[in-house]
Amino acid sequence: MASKDPTRTERDSMGPMEVPASAYYGASTQRAVLNFPISDLRFSRPFIRMLGLIKLAAARVNAELGLLDERTADAIAKAAREVADGNLDDQFVVDIFQTGSGTSTNMNANEVIANRATELLGGQLGSKLVHPNDQVNLGQSSNDVIPTTIHLAALDAIETRLIPALQRLQAALEDKSKELWGVVKTGRTHLQDATPIRLGQELLGYAGQAERGVRRLRRAQEELSDVALGGTAVGTGVNSHPQFASRVCAVLSQELAVTVRETDNHFQAQNTLDAVLEASGSLRTVAVSLMKIANDIRWLGSGPHAGLGELALPEVQPGSSIMPGKINPVIAESLIQVAAQVIGNDAAVSVAAQGGYFELNTMMPVAAHNLLESIELLAAGAANFSERCVEGLHATERGPQTVARGLAIATALAPVIGYDAATAIAKEAAASGRTVREVAREKTDLSEDDLDRILDPTKMTEPGLGE
């Protein structure tokens, strides 16, 4: 019979627990592994990074405040830096679907950092030469550390991943708008022909959605900058130095190059996920914007012969296992699916935000997972869409060719001959298969020069009533 992997005995408040001999985590983490065998989902790299940075900053500040000796604080800070840098990611083994406060993950971090710091000081794993609760968690509680970690991870990921991706998309759309500004085509409302529009104007509208998405994310960042750290168990700050949180926030602000500040109301910061919910709502709005852009672009490229065919999308891969030569708008489809996932994630965050009872929200892990996944998906999806779709778009001749035969061009006649007369011309053109211009030539006394001037589709893409 095969022997078991070697273990060591560690202890927590519930007693002894066998843990893998080489693991940096301890008894509390191992209990969580056994208690929550739910999924293969674990906290993401951005979350673990921020958790490590919080522990690092806490160790430094506690030393400055005279609450922790320099040697121990330095070892904790070095171990926490390793956590932040991703060197110990394999030690974060607790499922997302765990205790609703995230205590198991906070203790996972405390134990990993304590044992690694112990090792750095020459001690044995499990000896608690550095204590996970008394020293690594000094001045903290899971109830303020975990919401702070969520805020910081989202704040940083929005700043470094999502906003740059949206800005790239905005720039790509603006560049393509300028390139295709001269292409005048039929506009569409209610999926029906409407007055002419420049293809560049359509693209400029999409660029505006990306730009306003960044604005919305900036507002969400302002809310996320306000963190719960310092409230400890229920928001009162018990067992925490009065200057601890503000000093830690100052260290984190410098480390991350973003504003991090202690909340002025710890009670709301721990018993709600309001700021997280607002951020998720902003992500949902961005997702819906991107879905609209991707859908429009793939529709404009539909066909190419039996559809609209006004845009030629980059051909990036075969589209069918049975139809030779078929090319599909797969990059747009990918982004649309990303948007769908983000919308679903927002629903989960909305439910999680309802899990605040009295002094604590107890659905923080699932909110964190969905929020951070949404940021990463949107960032990757938007960047990929920019590179593999938008930057390679080309206009076809289809759009300009349909303008003259469009009925909505009769709109330009209304200020000259009246709405009713213009309507009659449009209806006759539709019934007879002739153009609006041909019918107007017959039914009005307008000269060819008048018709050239009034029915100029380029002028219809600008404000004004004509002459």
Which residues participate in catalysis according to the annotation?
190, 320
Residues whose CB is less than 8 angstroms from the CB of residue 215 and which lie 6 or more positions away in sequence, other chains included:
none
Q: Which two tokens stand for residue 52?
A: 């490590």
Distance CA 444, CA 436 (A): 11
Q: Which residue has the tokens 């609450």?
A: 67
Q: For 377, what's the count of Cα atoms within 13 Å in the CB-facing half-sphere?
A: 25
